[in-house]
Structure 1
């Protein structure tokens, strides 16, 4: 895989006064932490709260802060609660020891074993703490690789509790054929924006990779249909 970030650009959605950059222009890696840190969110409702009918576990993208990030995780949580009722949904981000560092994208599984383990711990927690909850999950950017690999590694009984998966800017889209190996395709929805080159087998970050907030409602509707 390649990782190309030759041009410094600002995302119009995060800087409304700026003109929209071309979707296929790459973004300077040094700009990503500042972009991703804006409007970040943390949610630990599985860890710290009571069991709900539905548990949404989300893995953020590289350099995003909080455990839900800012691009699409919080928006999908909010949309899911709007559809199903806030009293019926617990949102949980994949946090420490998942550090969401850029370097981990270069690893063979496009994330680290530690990150995969962090997600697996949460899936296992949902299974043991809340055996009757229906788990739905999602990931953005590197978080898609975290969720993808974790689902392949956890026990079958834990996987069976996962009713739906949404993947935004799927970094293993090409390698895994647009799906999570071994997991039902009808329970999986992949969002790949036009011009988002990570869906084509590279790690080139373009402005299109930062637009997935617009898909939060559709993703939540898909997940809601699976529970």
Structure 2
């Protein structure tokens, strides 16, 4: 099935691309309160624990665009090594966290994000409807109503499945921005390896943050898993 090809093929898509990394500073969701916005972000291959350079830039830009909202961040817990099938670990971890937020903080707007291998983690959440290849916790259909926006960068699904999440995911496509930097070989048929490490410099973290801010401004919160949002 499609997600099998994503989780297997992510290895071939990413293995030739060296991810440049920098230390990440990550906040976690508050146990005693519900934020207005909960970002759930999966870092790229080889980045230190946290949300990575792209995630940090994206969150910084988003916070500057929604100064009236509290924004918490959850760093998806997974190895992010070159054992790319372990992306399923990240999908399982993210799924549990997202389901918990949707249940305990129903008015919180959830934002999903990921870079490179981390984008494949988000692909699993958005595309897999049944357990597949180590991903054992697909999101219930109603959780999509709590997700205000999705932002992925250098996403292998674009090349491996022939399209971005915007067209592949009925539940999440309309609320997704799926960015590929030029001829980045992870998400295109190009061969500009350096492009895979330049999502911050290219301005795409800023572009994604504006997209998400616009979604947050127009998407009403839901209060139950059965509720509907725009």
TM-score (norm 1): 0.75
Q: CA deviation at 1:219?
A: 0.7
- Counterparts of 1:61 and 1:102, CA distance in 2: 10
Which of the numbers 160, 168, 176 marks the counterpart of 2:145? 160
- Counterparts of 2:98 and 2:173, CA distance in 1: 19
Which of the numbers 177, 186, 194 marks the counterpart of 1:189? 177
- Counterparts of 1:42 and 1:181, CA distance in 2: 28
Q: Does 1:81 align with 2:59?
A: no
Which residue pairs with 1:101 in the alignment? 81
Which residue pairs with 1:20 in the alignment? none
Q: Secondary structure at the match of 2:101?
A: helix
Contact 2:87 2:120 in 1 (8 A): no
Which of the numbers 44, 50, 67 marks the counterpart of 1:67? 50
Which residue pairs with 1:9 in the alignment? none
- Counterparts of 1:146 and 1:174, CA distance in 2: 15
Q: Secondary structure at the match of 2:114?
A: strand
Contact 2:42 2:75 in 1 (8 A): yes
Name the count of aligned residue pairs: 191
Which residue pairs with 1:57 in the alignment? 40
Which of the numbers 115, 132, 150 marks the counterpart of 2:90? 115
- Unpaired segments of 5 or more residues in structure 1? 6-25
Q: What's the RMSD between the two structures over aligned residues?
A: 2.3
- Counterparts of 2:189 and 2:92, CA distance in 1: 24
Which residue pairs with 2:5 in the alignment? none
Contact 1:43 1:68 in 2 (8 A): no
Contact 2:119 2:152 in 1 (8 A): yes
Which residue pairs with 2:219 in the alignment? none
Q: CA deviation at 1:56?
A: 1.2
TM-score (norm 2): 0.74
Q: Does 1:138 align with 2:127?
A: no
